[in-house]
A and B are shown apart, each in its own frame.
Chain A
Amino acid sequence: MKDKIRAILKEHGRLNKDVKDIGDKDDLLAAGLTSHANVNVMLALENEFEIEFPDSMLKRESFESIAAICASIEKVRDGQA
């Protein structure tokens, strides 16, 4: 799952460094993820994983790192969101 997330971040995140150099827990905002790029990442994740993030998950913390994105996807899949 993390490889797919990295591929999406590479395509849509407009980050200021190579996704290979971003650790699972690194702050994506610090890596240059803007609010609008974050929207694109969110929509691309929804396409890739065939999910829809509910309004309650549109917080910064849901997408703040690769690990956080993984947890958010799992949460939606498990129906806990």
Chain B
Amino acid sequence: VSGEVVAKPMKMRVGVDLVRVQEIERSLAQFGDRFLRRLFTEGEVAYATAAPGRTAERLAARFAAKEAVKKALGAAADGAPWRHIEVRRGPSGIPEIVLHGPAREAASAAGISEFSISLSHDGDYAIAMVAAACQGDER
């Protein structure tokens, strides 16, 4: 039939990562600004440092999010700089993923246009889980 669109099968991809908050505190103490600059965007640092007592747990959750996105993207995202995977807070305060540069290209090549992310922390640990709907069969 002319004009018929055959939908490719949708697949889900997930990624999860767990980070010890104390280890992030240690990195901050040892490497300071260089640790922040290499891993996080200005917006992420601004959000994390806005609450002095919660900086490490916010950074830990964000680092976990970046790693979870890399896991969901698979081998294509190996080598994507952490700063290119950004956690932003949407208008209602819900975190969302914004990709830049090679990470964006890797997602696009995998047929992923959107991620859904959830962050949590309790005491010593922060965790992030991402889900992505992916159109295509490449992994």
Contacts and interface: CB of A to CB of B under 8 A. Distances in A.
Interface of A: 35-37, 39-40, 43-44, 46-47, 55-61
A36 B34 contact: no
B79 A56 contact: yes
A40 B30 contact: yes
Interface stretch (B16-24, B43-51, B108-116, B129-137): B16-24
Contact of B81 (A40, A44, A58): A58
B38 A59 contact: no
16 contacts: A36-B24, A36-B27, A36-B63, A36-B67, A37-B23, A39-B35, A39-B38, A40-B23, A40-B27, A40-B30, A43-B30, A43-B34, A47-B31, A57-B79, A58-B81, A60-B78
Contacts of A55: 81
B79 A59 contact: yes
A68 B31 CA distance: 23
Given A40-B31, A43-B31, A59-B79, 7 more contacts: A35-B67, A39-B39, A40-B27, A43-B27, A46-B34, A56-B79, A58-B79
Please indicate which of the listed interface residues B20, B63, B79 has the most CB atoms of chain A within 10 Å of its own CB. B79
The A interface, classified by DSSP as helix, strand, loop or mixed, is: helix
Interface of B: 17, 19-20, 23-24, 26-27, 30-31, 34-35, 38-39, 63, 67, 78-82
A44 B31 CA distance: 8
Contacts of A44: 30-31
Please indicate which of the listed interface residues A36, A43, A59 has the most CB atoms of chain B within 10 Å of its own CB. A36
Contacts of B79: 56-60
Contacts of A58: 79-82
Nearest to A37: B23
